[in-house]
Amino acid sequence: MNELSATSKKMSIKKISFKQLVWLFFVVFFIHNIEEFLSFPSWLEENISAIPLFLSSKIALVFHYNFIFFIAIALSLATLLPLFICIWANKTKNKQITIFLLLTIAWVMMLNAFQHIFNTLIMNEYTPGLITALLINLPFSIYFILRLKKEKAISKMKLFLYLPIGLVAYFLSVAAILLISYNILNFIKP
């Protein structure tokens, strides 16, 4: 029995430091955005008719210029934003602002995972980003939220108060990233 417990102690995973946890936000976003980049163009080409007309006409305009380049710009911006937040979070001494930003990102990741699930159920097929949303983003965001709660780094009230902030941040960041990407594409198009 003692050998077994000694072996399990050796095999146990050390608790991730807060600094490492911060960097995992970037890693998770990066992996998720790679999945979306690799699968979205072909998926959209096959499913353009299933997209509502008001959106498909806008997407057709983007296709006209260079859709893959547009997706690359948008996903790069969606990866850089968390990277800058992670760099800042590891440099600042203000733990409350760091927790606020990271918790907002965690809620955004969770909402994004639910959006992928919803889209997949509506389309009745795989949608780009679903695999990493389910296997990485959702578990990671839940882990982060539960860890904050367990370590009493934030009150329960603030924990759930940040959910609507995450919801607003999610939709604003997606809209801003798409708008900026579209403007960059228009600026550099031949």
Q: What is the pLDDT of residue 46?
A: 78
pLDDT in tens, 130-165: 999 999 999 999 999 888 888 888 888 888 888 888
Query: Token match 């809620």: residue?
Result: 107
Q: What is the pLDDT of residue 42?
A: 82
Q: What is the pLDDT of residue 12?
A: 45
Q: How far apart are CA 91 and CA 110, in angstroms?
A: 25
DSSP 72: H
pLDDT at 117 over 90: yes
pLDDT in tens, 169-185: 888 888 888 888 888 87
The total of structural domains in the chain comes to 1
In a domain, 159, yes or no: yes
In a domain, 1, yes or no: no
Q: What is the pLDDT of residue 28?
A: 94
In a domain, 12, yes or no: no
In a domain, 7, yes or no: no
Token pair belonging to 22: 């911060």
Give the global pTM.
Answer: 0.78
In a domain, 5, yes or no: no
Q: How far apart are CA 105 and CA 12, in angstroms?
A: 28
The residue range of the domain holding 111 is: 18-188
Q: What is the pLDDT of residue 8?
A: 47
In a domain, 97, yes or no: yes
In a domain, 172, yes or no: yes
| C-beta of residue 71 within 8 angstroms of C-beta of residue 41 | yes
pLDDT level of residue 55 (50, 70, 90 thresholds): low
Q: How far apart are CA 77 and CA 93, in angstroms?
A: 26
Q: What is the pLDDT of residue 60?
A: 56
Distance in angstroms between the alpha carbons of the first and the last residue of the chain: 72
